[in-house]
Amino acid sequence: MANMTSAMSALHVPHLTPLETTPRHFRHRQTPTGIRTIDTWIPGPGDRALFASLHLPSDGAVRGAVVICPPLAKEHISAYRGLRQLAQELAEHGFLALRFDYAGQGDSSGRQDDPLAVSQWQASVAAAVAYARRAGIESVAVTGLRAGALIAAATVDTLGDLRAMVLWDPVISGRSYVRELTSLYRVSVDDDPHHDDCTSIVGGVLDSAAVKDLSGLDLSTLDPGSSTKVLAAIRPEFAASPRTVRMLERSGAERMFVERQNQFVSPSSFVLSVPTHDIKQISSWVSRQFGEDKTVVDPEITSAAHVATADDGEEVWETLERRSTGSLFAISTASRTTTSHAATAVFHSTANEHRIGPARLWVESARTLAAHGIRSVRFDRMGTGDSGTVLTDENTPIVSPEARRNVLDLIDTLDVPPSRRMHVGMCSGAWMGAYVASQRGARSVVLLNIVNWSINNRRPPVKKAHVDAMESDVANRIFLVARTIRNAGRRAQRYVPYPLWLGLGFLGLVNAPESMLRTLTRRGTKTAVSLAPEDEAWFEANRGRQGVTRLSRSKNPPHVLFSGSGDHNLFHRSSRERVGRLIVASALDAFGDRRLAVSKHDKEGLGA
């Protein structure tokens, strides 16, 4: 394999050139309620491109705009669907609702470890408000969830007159929030062994200068002015805290209680819940602060943007797309000279994660691959991120047969033969990547912390987390009985003759790693597997090492790597860095550096 460390250094994000505005057309999905959803890039601070989604009535006539400021890191991933539902509700009340990612966060350009990150986040809020006003909207409100409320409040002096502001489950003290983030990382992940100027948090990494700036923010000093109506949607258990009381008194905010916030923004498992009742209350309050007069808006829509620059000056661009019969939201990443037929890496996310992957790893990996001339596509499977309608009180869906069909349809839309496709995924996303490769073929797959080793899976994928989300005593008792039977079977599996065990794996009745690995090997797919310690234990328990030993004699043996440290979710920074190098090295091993091939041709002939 190519040198992995040098491969990751081929990309940097300086101050970027402005967005390229495509012809004025709406890239949108019509919903049954007559709401139009538009995906676009908007200009952010320092010419950085910010990813945004607009939700507005189909006729374009709006009563005002509401800019929605998201939380940070893991809380943003957990709350993503709920914020989409809030935007849809606001659009039904006649507003243009604007969701966006801060610079260096989510899909937006920039680095998450930028020392000036906090000022970039604040400038991103101002840029989003300015974008709404340029569309022809005078009356604007701002809604911030968790850290989004703190960031919006710190920006209020730069936003001009606001009709209203909603502080939803707000972070009041930046200093306390930083302590909470770092403590949670140490308890749930591990100590950070790095000796640099960055601090790891669950779902990301911040420069020490940004940590200091974030610690200095304090919502209790908010003074939005007499013309701005303020709503504090807070948890009942925080109502009497001194910080909350000071914030309410200083801002003159109305108070509303919200429930189920833990399961919404910081769930204990991969199953989260969208608090539809609270969302309706918030959108109704916002609606009451505006008049009924409407203005027809004409927002500027940009489907492609410059998001990074390689060391040699080559521009990296990203295009917003809707693919497959399920209208899955996707983002295609490529260098300026890369053609649509180039070798392509497809990134599959897991659980409730949307297309950014664990702690933004898919975004950063895609932009690094683009610097080597390899195109990437990252997408939201049905029921996650921006794919599919958000349901009332939605819980994280289990990967369904429909999701499998949608992904196969998406792969069929790529104008690339199997020999130039690569799939990357973690956990259930790894399984989906292996499944697609088994059905459509692929040059390479990278399977990260995979736990389901049966492509032909016939076992119901019900987890304890799903049962807990049902809040049903009957469902819980049934699950406990089924788990007892399952555990007894696991204890007995070591006595099953290996040929029989492997056969049951091919039938989808047990978790035999060789069944999946042999299927991929037979198809000629280069397979790299990386397992954290807990996933290695599961692999061993299912006799995976025996299978790998048997496959080592084949012409195309899989490469299984045991990290020896780290965590399943790739929250640990060292784990992400190691996996990032593996992704790039696997791509270069499969396809080579496509930029070298491009340089042999006339770039003008490629449409550069």
Are 228 and 372 in a shared domain? no
So what's the pLDDT on residue 271? Answer: 76
Structure tokens at 34: 């007559």
Q: Where are the beta strands (DSSP E) in 159-299?
A: 164-168, 198-201, 204-207, 229-234, 254-257, 295-296
Q: What is the CATH number of the domain that holds 141?
A: 3.40.50.1820
Q: What is the pLDDT of residue 395?
A: 78
Number of folded domains that form the chain: 2
- Tell me if 13 is assigned to some domain: no
Alpha helices (H) in 232-312, listed in sequence order: 242-251, 261-265, 276-288
Are 367 and 308 spatial neighbours (Cβ–Cβ below 8 Å)? yes
- Residue range 343-396, pLDDT digits in tens: 999 999 998 899 999 999 999 999 999 999 999 999 999 999 999 989 888 877
Q: What range does the domain containing 544 cover?
A: 304-389+396-598
pLDDT above 70 covers a percentage of the chain that reads 85
Distance CA 17, CA 19 (A): 7
> Do 275 and 323 have their domain in common?
no
Check residues 125 and 188 and name the one with the higher pLDDT.
125
User: 460 and 539, same structural domain?
Assistant: yes
Name the percent of the chain in helix, strand, coil, to the closest 5.
Answer: 40, 20, 40
Indicate whether 165 pLDDT > 60. Answer: yes
* Per-residue pLDDT tens over the stretch 191-234: 777 778 899 999 999 999 999 999 999 999 888 877 899 999 99
d(C-alpha 123, C-alpha 253), whole Å:
24
Residue 21 lies in a domain: no
On whether residue 188 sits in a domain, the answer given is no
**Residues 281 and 359 occupy one common structural domain:** no
In the prediction, which pLDDT does 14 show?
39
Count of CA atoms in the C-beta half-sphere (13 A) of 223? 1
Residue 8: what pLDDT? 41
Smallest Cα–Cα separation from 353: which of 98, 121, 79?
A: 79
CA angle 585, 106, 435 (to 5 degrees): 50
Q: Give the residue, 166 or 4, on which the prediction is more confident.
A: 166
Interatomic CA distance for residues 124 and 373, integer angstroms: 30
- Residue 307 backbone phi and psi in degrees, to 5: -115, -15
pLDDT band for position 286 (cuts 50, 70, 90): very high
Return contacts of 548-557, CB within 8 angstroms, 24+ apart. 548/513, 548/514, 548/517, 550/514, 551/514, 551/517, 551/518, 551/521, 554/521, 556/521, 556/524, 556/525, 556/526, 556/527, 557/521
Kindly state whether residue 1 falls inside one of the protein's structural domains: no
Q: What is the pLDDT of residue 222?
A: 86
- Does 491 lie in the same domain as 529? yes
Regarding whether 284 and 310 lie in a shared domain, the answer is no
- Residues 371, 333: Cα–Cα separation, whole Å: 10
Query: The whole model's pTM is what?
Result: 0.89
Same domain, yes or no, for 115 and 144?
Answer: yes
Q: How many CB atoms lie within 10 A of CB 297?
A: 18
User: CB of 125 within 8 A of CB of 151?
Assistant: yes
The answer on 286 and 308 residing in a single domain is: no
Q: Are residues 432 and 350 in the same domain?
A: yes
Q: Which two tokens stand for residue 353?
A: 């994660």
- The tens digit of pLDDT for each residue in 75-122 reads 999 999 999 999 999 999 999 999 999 999 999 999 999 999 999 999
**Tokens 């403590």 belong to residue:** 183
The 10s digit of each residue's pLDDT in 314-342 is 999 999 999 988 899 999 999 988 877 88
> Which pLDDT score, from 0 to 100, does residue 442 have?
98
- Whether residues 416 and 552 share a domain: the answer is yes
Which is higher by pLDDT, 488 or 556? 556
Q: Does 15 map to a domain? A: no
Q: Is the dihedral angle over the CA atoms 528, 530, 536, 538 positive or is it negative?
A: negative
Check whether 505 has a pLDDT greater than 60.
yes
Instruction: Please say which residue of 258, 290, 322 terminates a domain.
Output: 290
Q: Is the CB of residue 326 less than 8 Å from the CB of residue 380?
A: no
